Amino acid sequence: MPDDLNLSNLKPAQSRRVRKRVGRGLGSGKGRYSGRGIKGQKSRSGSHKMRPGFEGGQNPIYMRLGKLRGGSKDALPVGPFRTTTVPVNVAILEERFDAGAEVTPESLVEKGSSRTRRRTSRSLGTAT
């Protein structure tokens, strides 16, 4: 910071953008139609108050496309071949199961490694 800081050498932190003044005559560059063009809906006052998705009276895209309706969380995932899996770490299996014990979905639920037996389990990692 300079030692001789006074009112004569103060500057703003950054340059300011000059505000666009529309409708102030032809010489300003934004006169006559004030940058809105000649005719049409967007040249009128209040034209910026259209709702999102309005397409000028044309059927909007959210009404043209089909709707996905209903369904419960029990019905998901959709399709006969889609399955959801629960990752089970091999280190956890070694802690909770004895050596040579059979690991089934029911036993995973009993030991607390899985919450439900409706989902398939996948083991992660390698046994040491």
Enter the pTM of the model: 0.35
Three-state SS across the chain?
CCCCCCHHHCCCCCCCCCCCCCCCCHHHCCCCCCCCCCCCHHHCCCHHHCCCCCCCCCCCHHHHCCCCCCCCCCCCCCCCCCCCEEEEEHHHHHHHCCCCCCCCHHHHHHHCCCCCCCCEEEEECCCC
pLDDT digits (tens, 9 = 90+) for 21-78: 999 999 998 999 999 999 988 899 988 888 999 998 999 999 999 887 776 666 666 6
